[in-house]
């Protein structure tokens, strides 16, 4: 029998949803910076160089869990949410095909050992 440290704990919604995407894009500062994080109030976006001219990005927004949107609507919404941020973010979104955008609600579990 497994001990209590291996028992499944109930996951609770974190209050955030993560949107992810990939795109062919080479930022102008790629030789100096390969990983970027943009922080705002209740919003967060990061991106990283994955090689061969590709970028992977992720954005966190405080959305209710369980919502669904089409790929195109998700990307349009992200463009609206981050429109006043760095132009680099719009470059990423503009280079992203809506069909690769994914939405994942984020859940937390308590630590196994307390």
Per-domain residue ranges for the chain?
12-108
Domain 12-108 has CATH 3.30.9.30: yes
Q: How confident is the model at residue 58 (pLDDT cuts 50, 70, 90)?
A: very high
Predicted confidence (pLDDT) per residue in 2-54, tens digit: 555 555 678 899 999 999 999 999 999 999 998 999 999 999 999 999 999 99
Q: Which string of DSSP letters, residue by residue, matches 26-70?
A: --TTTTT-SEEEEEETTEEEEEEEEETTEEEEEEEE-PPTT----
Q: How far does Cα 11 stand from its chain's mean position?
A: 20
CA distance 111 to 28: 41
Greater model confidence, 111 or 29: 29
Model confidence at 71: pLDDT above 90 = no
pLDDT given at position 114? 61
Q: How far does Cα 89 stand from its chain's mean position?
A: 12
pTM, 2 dp:
0.85
pLDDT given at position 43? 95
User: Rounded mean pLDDT of 56-73?
Assistant: 93
Model confidence at 89: pLDDT above 70 = yes
């Amino acid at each position: 029998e497994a001990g209590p440290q291996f028992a499944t704990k109930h996951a609770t919604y974190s209050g955030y949803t993560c949107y992810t995407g990939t795109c062919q894009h080479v930022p102008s500062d790629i030789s100096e910076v390969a990983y970027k994080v943009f922080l705002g109030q209740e919003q967060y976006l990061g991106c990283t160089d994955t090689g061969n001219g590709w970028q992977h990005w992720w954005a966190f927004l405080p959305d209710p869990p369980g919502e669904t949107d089409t790929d195109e609507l998700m990307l349009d919404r992200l463009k609206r949410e981050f429109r006043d941020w760095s132009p680099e973010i719009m470059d990423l979104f503009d280079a992203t095909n809506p069909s690769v955008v994914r939405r994942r609600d984020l859940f937390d579990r308590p630590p196994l050992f307390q």
